Structure 1
Amino acid sequence: MREGTPDAPQGMPDVLIPQRYDADWRVAVARRWAARLSTAADIPLAREVVEQTLLELVDRAIGALDDPSTVDEAGRAVGSRLAEIHATGEDSLPLSLNLLRDELVRPGNDEVRRILALVTAIAAGYAAADRENTFVQQETLKKDLLRSKLKADRELAASEARFCEVFATTQIGIAICDIEGKFAQVNPAFEVTLGYQAQDLASMTIHDLFHSDDAEYLAAAYRELADGGSSKRLGDRKRLLRANGEEAWAYLAVSVLRGSDGAPRHFVTTVEDITELHLLQDRLQYQALHDALTGLPNRQFFRTRLEAMLASLPGHAQLSLYHLGLDGFELINDGLGYEVGDQVIKAVARRLEQLFEDEEAIVARFGGTEFAILLLEQEKTPPVTTLTQQINELLAEPVHVDGHGIAASAGIGVVQRALTDADASNMLWAADVALRRAEAAGKRQWALFDPDKAPEERIESKLAAVMPGGLEMGEFDVVYRPLVYMDTGELVVLEAELRWETSEYGTLEHDECLRLAERSGVTLSLRDWMLETAWQQLCEWHADGHRVQLKLALSPNQGQDPDLAAVIHQVLDACEVDATWLRLCMPLAAVRGDNEEARDNVRYLNSRGIKTSLHSFHGSPDELRLLRELPIDAVRLADELVDLVHAADSANLPEVQAIHGLVPLVHACGARLWVRGVDTEEQARIWRGMNCEVGAGALFGDPLLSFDVPDFLHGVQPH
């Protein structure tokens, strides 16, 4: 016994360890107890709390051994407390009993009955507490399971109620069928969509509702779903049969319901009626491929049919493509109104359909006043000359609208191809080329595509197409042609002209550039660039002391542009050279007729000091009147009249004498006569004899590049 340890109680057998009264020893026992329990149970408490709890239990056990009357109560309390701290692992009780035996009792004493009684009480308390905990847990689990079941039952009932509500009220038809297709259940929307009652469907299968054209496909699709094919769900637009026998376009969505063993049990088919949508789409597709005014196929549909015929017809078949453009139709629209014009267009469409109704042909409207006919040549088909005549004869019959008899005529381009040589794009292009040639020849003309001219036509079309890019890339130059007095050779003015250095087709001169510009749509852009470039060059020449006048000749579209005066005003203000150093040569086509705005432009430009002349002059009374009405001081004779004089064998020919007579008329109107194309001294002599003052041509010098102009001006005295 250690020093300071009290003696055992009087009369107590020497059974117990005498150190039990030592506080440090008790703490050590509690620690060892906690260490052993940590290997057998997962106690959710801090180690210090466990050791303190077990120290209290050691004290309670020792107290009970010293006072036998408390053994039973103490043992149960110790066991219950162990259960409370969850020291309930499988080996927790044996570990605890063995530790108490080894620590508290001396071996070999007969008084071990007390410790055994204590152990028994501890075990009983432990077991009772454990049973209580188990019962509580079971009751809690039972309640949780019951609550979960009740919740699941409620949710299942709510889900079923929602399904029933959706099934009954949705606007989409739903049918549940067995694996053979017999109806098990259908919703009201299914009955309404197809017009059947549930009792009618009871003796039918889903297959009875398939349209005959789609039945085989749908039956196979249902079988594939049931067999577990690659597709898990079917979704497609197909036709079903209504109860009254009518077809209904529907969007079908089909899925398969399988049992717990994975075997298919039912099909669920949803049916959405899209009949109206389908009809609308058909209508929209029809409108996309047909002309809204006439109902004829449009260009897109026509091309598609042309490609289909080229792909399907035998190689020896012969196709003809007629491309029509109505002549002068703007007179009808402007004079009688667009509503009348529309009536005439519709009448033309019906007559063309009537003319070709017995032929293997397609009549189409390409838009505006253009029509096309694709004709499969047969033995009975009339030749091209006959058909073109019949077309215009039919169109010439008056169309009576609002009391007016209105006749039409058409220019017609024709291309004929054997299928072995045919290509859709090429045929359409060739027919368009032939039409443009027919229209250039006058009204009510027709032209057959000439394959020998095809390369030339393609080159011109290509040049017109790439012209905007050429202007953007700086491929154009401005050159300057001298105009001189015929009698003295003095320089009058430098005329700015365009020159296009193409990378593929060489150099194109001014007139060719303007003609291509009219086709490409860059006429005004080209004019503005030329005006700005030439004026800037003139300003530099004036700054260097070269006082020369600049002349620009405009095309009809350039001259009648309403913005012409504003553009010139802006360009002239870019430098300090006076506006009187600029001369514009306007085309007669731009200022004659009812184009008052173009004539106002001439007057405005004159008010700024800009001299104005006219070109393409033929000497008609209207043209002479314009010379008196407008501030014009010069006219340039039309090139075809100049060529006529140059080609004449004698000056006494009537046509040459008529041109001779123009000169005094022009002078009487206060203007001078200019000509170009004077290439020889003999030609100059003729024009001088006719009192023509100013000329241009190879005799007086070819066009000059801007950097050659100063040297040229050094050798002449500008007027």
Structure 2
Amino acid sequence: MTRVERHELIQRWKREIAPNSYAPLRRGDVEDLLSTCLEHLLGELACPDRAGEAANAGAALLPLHADNPMVLPGTLKLLAAELPGLLPQVPADRMVAALGHLAAGFAEELRAGSGSVEPASRDLPARSRALFHTSTMGVAAVSTTGVIEETNEALRRMFGLTEDELTGSSVLALVDDRWRPELTGALAGLADGASERVNLDARSTTTDGAQVWTRMTASLVRNDRGEPDHLVVFYEDITDRHMLQEQFRRQAVQDPLTGLANRAQLESCVDAALTPVYPGRRVALCLFDLDGFKAVNDSLGHAIGDRVLREVARRLQSLAAQESAVVARIGGDEFAMVIPDSYDAARVTELVERLLREVTKPMWIGAHELAASASAGIVEREVVGTDTGSLLRDADITLFRAKRDGRALWVLFDAERNAVAHENFRLSAALPSALEKNELFVEYDPVADAETGDVLAVMANVRWDHDEFGELGSNRFFGLAEETGLITRLGGWTLEQAGRHAARWVRELGEHAPLLAVTLSARHCRDPELVRDLREALDTTGLPAESLVLCLPESALFDYQGDAVDTVEIFAEMGIRLFVHEFGSDYTRVDRLKDLPLAGVLIDGPHIRGLADPDGPEPLSEYLVRSAVGAARLMDLPVLATGVTSAEQAHRLGEIGVALIQGPHVSDRVSATEVVELVGGA
């Protein structure tokens, strides 16, 4: 907290309590006193081991009290409102504890000034009697048998009772049933002289139903012979402090929007459910994610979205409570349910199906009739051998599979599939740093003329030298980059790295340098910065645009209206050659390809492999390949077939009309240096 912030806080503090404080102190004295209090309080907040510091702050407040009860409540109100914003690094529980110590120090100092109070039936000095009746704390004179003999006005006001109603009644009547056994034992210890003072925080329900929390301090008073004579019980009203503490506790474990448990509370519940209290105990954890919820927020606003979340939470909670399950909100539109003692997966999946059906029922939010749906990932297993972290992680991965496979469905944890998914998560997380640490490198697959065998081009193939998983091909991580949005950065890196290699080939081999072919993903093709990034890559590397071939997926050449993307025309104007792969995957688009400035088409996949059988080509594969080649021939486009493994397969493709081939039959994958050797030595 800065010096300016301290000064402003003291000024607000002074204004908060000044109307209620009539102590004969000058303005500067008040500020000095509050500054001292603040220093004590900040000392404890900075170091929890200095618990007495906040109590000293409370004791220092007493000169401002002057028989007015609002100095302490005003102080607690102000500090509870201001300190969280000024000291965001201090945990809420530590802040609540410090304020409690402050209040306790204030009360203790006040009691010290009233320590000689005895009931009116005793022979008291006038000063003690004045303290008894004017104290802002509740005070009761109680016999050693627990009967109230006399009370002051503050106590009667605190509990809403008259003197006649209190006098002669049991002191136990001033606490609710839950605390009576503890108070009975404490008073017995005082009455027989085993202890001199006891403290107890307890709740009392008044005649009008209000709840009052008090901190009781009961002290033993002995007679002239040293024998237990009577008790003096001080009552401090801590209702506001208790409510503040409860508010902090709720905020720590409860989602403020829905009232459900939050993630911290969920993890505590999972911890408890994992306790192996009997052999074979099982537990289930289910994660739910609303499908398409972002569209609700975007179209109707966050206020409507919040009401949808509250209604979904209500429905989940209503059904889950019937199974003794705990429901939590753990993210924006993500919920969780933990089922202790789940017994078997069938019972859990049946409950999840009911929950998903309940969520899909129409809901009226204001003037809008809305329908929601959710996907769910379920983990159900024995508690032995598992822990909270692995349970949450497995449920999260299973939910991801459910979201990927569709909407409004559930998926049950599968160890083998989740192991692959977990590995994918790890690769996705490590990919950005792999780019930074130069763990990626580019190798090349030569492309040859199907008739002469001359190498005319090479296709860039990105590899990953992973510390744990070894060398990984692009098919292992490019899809992950597409899902996570890293594909644009990865594609840009590939263009630049491969472009540098190809520019060197042009310098060393001249007109004999092979063309560089780079495959772009659909997402990268739709990147609005692609043209700019490509121009920069060509400028940076010095690669002529005429030496670059871009292989674009057929699906990326058309927008949602079916029109060719503008970038295709721009690439062609730059001199870049364009090949389309996934050719023929959608025959409704083939006719429109003839109007695009393409340089060729690429075919691959199982149909190419179907031509490798020594006993003859697979009929359907041959038919589909012939159809694709025939369509390309009608557009005067050469066809490149990838994945060619044998001379017989290459011969059949050549007979069909394939002009270019790539695969192990042509050459193994080579490095950038080996490209020069391969082409230069041909």
Q: Match for residue 579 of structure 1?
A: 545
Secondary structure at the aligned position of 2:679 is classed as: helix
Q: Is 1:478–1:497's contact at 8 Å kept on the other side of the alignment? A: yes
In the alignment, the residues of structure 1 paired with residue 201 and residue 635 of structure 2 have an alpha-carbon distance, to the nearest angstrom, of 80
Compare 617-626 and 482-491 and name the one that shifted more: 617-626
Q: Is 1:167–1:174's contact at 8 Å kept on the other side of the alignment? A: no
2:466 corresponds to which of 489, 502, 508: 502
1:705 corresponds to which of 648, 671, 674: 671
In the alignment, the residues of structure 2 paired with residue 164 and residue 294 of structure 1 have an alpha-carbon distance, to the nearest angstrom, of 42
Task: Give 5+ residue unaligned stretches, structure 1.
Answer: 1-161
Percent identity of equivalent pairs:
27
Q: Match for residue 29 of structure 2?
A: none
- Is 1:661 the counterpart of 2:561 in the alignment? no
Q: Match for residue 614 of structure 1?
A: 580
| Alignment CA distance shift 1:268-1:304 (3 Å) | same
Compare 609-618 and 278-287 and name the one that shifted more: 278-287
Residue 586 of structure 1: how far off its partner (Å): 3.0
In the alignment, the residues of structure 2 paired with residue 492 and residue 244 of structure 1 have an alpha-carbon distance, to the nearest angstrom, of 94
Q: Match for residue 415 of structure 1?
A: 379
- Is 1:174 the counterpart of 2:137 in the alignment? yes
| Alignment CA distance shift 1:651-1:380 (3 Å) | closer
What does residue range 99-248 of structure 1 map to in structure 2 within 5 Å? Answer: 166-168=66-68, 170-172=70-72, 173-175=136-138, 194-195=159-160, 209-214=174-179, 239-242=203-206, 244=208, 246-248=210-212
Q: Is 2:499–2:543's contact at 8 Å kept on the other side of the alignment? A: no
Number of aligned residue pairs: 552
Q: Is 2:282–2:382's contact at 8 Å kept on the other side of the alignment? A: yes
Q: Match for residue 375 of structure 1?
A: 339
In the alignment, the residues of structure 2 paired with residue 186 and residue 164 of structure 1 have an alpha-carbon distance, to the nearest angstrom, of 22
Q: Match for residue 98 of structure 1?
A: none
Cα offsets for 1:479-530 (capped at 9, x unmatched): 1222233233333332222111122221101111213434666434333333
Q: Is 1:498–1:513's contact at 8 Å kept on the other side of the alignment? A: no
| Alignment CA distance shift 1:344-1:650 (3 Å) | farther
| Alignment CA distance shift 1:348-1:535 (3 Å) | same
Q: Is 1:252–1:272's contact at 8 Å kept on the other side of the alignment? A: no
1:552 corresponds to which of 514, 518, 543: 518
Secondary structure at the aligned position of 2:582 is classed as: strand
TM-score, L = length of structure 1: 0.62
1:424 corresponds to which of 371, 388, 398: 388
Q: Match for residue 271 of structure 1?
A: 236
Secondary structure at the aligned position of 1:542 is classed as: helix
Q: Is 2:499–2:538's contact at 8 Å kept on the other side of the alignment? A: yes
| Alignment CA distance shift 1:598-1:496 (3 Å) | farther
Q: Is 1:618–1:641's contact at 8 Å kept on the other side of the alignment? A: no
| Alignment CA distance shift 1:593-1:379 (3 Å) | same
2:445 maps to a residue whose letter is: R
Secondary structure at the aligned position of 2:438 is classed as: coil
Structure number with greater Rg is 1
2:502 corresponds to which of 518, 538, 552: 538
Residue 478 of structure 1: how far off its partner (Å): 1.5
| Alignment CA distance shift 1:224-1:328 (3 Å) | same
| Alignment CA distance shift 1:673-1:446 (3 Å) | farther
Residue 273 of structure 1: how far off its partner (Å): 4.4
In the alignment, the residues of structure 2 paired with residue 595 and residue 560 of structure 1 have an alpha-carbon distance, to the nearest angstrom, of 14
TM-score, L = length of structure 2: 0.65
Q: Match for residue 76 of structure 2?
A: none
Residue 214 of structure 1: how far off its partner (Å): 4.5
Residue 698 of structure 1: how far off its partner (Å): 1.2
Q: Match for residue 99 of structure 1?
A: none
What does residue range 677-688 of structure 1 map to in structure 2 within 5 Å? Answer: 677-688=643-654
Q: Is 1:325–1:410's contact at 8 Å kept on the other side of the alignment? A: yes
- Is 1:472 the counterpart of 2:436 in the alignment? yes
Cα offsets for 1:91-118 (capped at 9, x unmatched): xxxxxxxxxxxxxxxxxxxxxxxxxxxx
| Alignment CA distance shift 1:648-1:327 (3 Å) | farther
Q: Is 2:65–2:71's contact at 8 Å kept on the other side of the alignment? A: no
Q: Match for residue 479 of structure 2?
A: 515
Q: Match for residue 112 of structure 2?
A: none
| Alignment CA distance shift 1:523-1:542 (3 Å) | same
In the alignment, the residues of structure 2 paired with residue 649 and residue 414 of structure 1 have an alpha-carbon distance, to the nearest angstrom, of 48
Q: Match for residue 68 of structure 1?
A: none
Q: Is 1:486–1:695's contact at 8 Å kept on the other side of the alignment? A: yes
In the alignment, the residues of structure 1 paired with residue 392 and residue 168 of structure 2 have an alpha-carbon distance, to the nearest angstrom, of 60
Residue 398 of structure 1: how far off its partner (Å): 5.3
In the alignment, the residues of structure 2 paired with residue 317 and residue 465 of structure 1 have an alpha-carbon distance, to the nearest angstrom, of 34
1:539 maps to a residue whose letter is: A
Q: Match for residue 640 of structure 2?
A: 674
Q: Is 1:551–1:584's contact at 8 Å kept on the other side of the alignment? A: yes
In the alignment, the residues of structure 2 paired with residue 644 and residue 326 of structure 1 have an alpha-carbon distance, to the nearest angstrom, of 43
Q: Match for residue 118 of structure 2?
A: none
Secondary structure at the aligned position of 2:527 is classed as: coil
| Alignment CA distance shift 1:443-1:240 (3 Å) | closer
| Alignment CA distance shift 1:681-1:518 (3 Å) | same
1:271 maps to a residue whose letter is: E
Compare 678-687 and 500-509 and name the one that shifted more: 678-687
Secondary structure at the aligned position of 1:702 is classed as: coil
Secondary structure at the aligned position of 1:167 is classed as: coil
Cα offsets for 1:336-378 (capped at 9, x unmatched): 8777766666665555455555434334444355444433566
What does residue range 430-449 of structure 1 map to in structure 2 within 5 Å? Answer: 430-443=394-407, 446-449=410-413
1:480 maps to a residue whose letter is: Y
Task: Give 5+ residue unaligned stretches, structure 2.
Answer: 1-61, 73-135
Q: Is 1:592–1:626's contact at 8 Å kept on the other side of the alignment? A: no
Secondary structure at the aligned position of 1:686 is classed as: helix
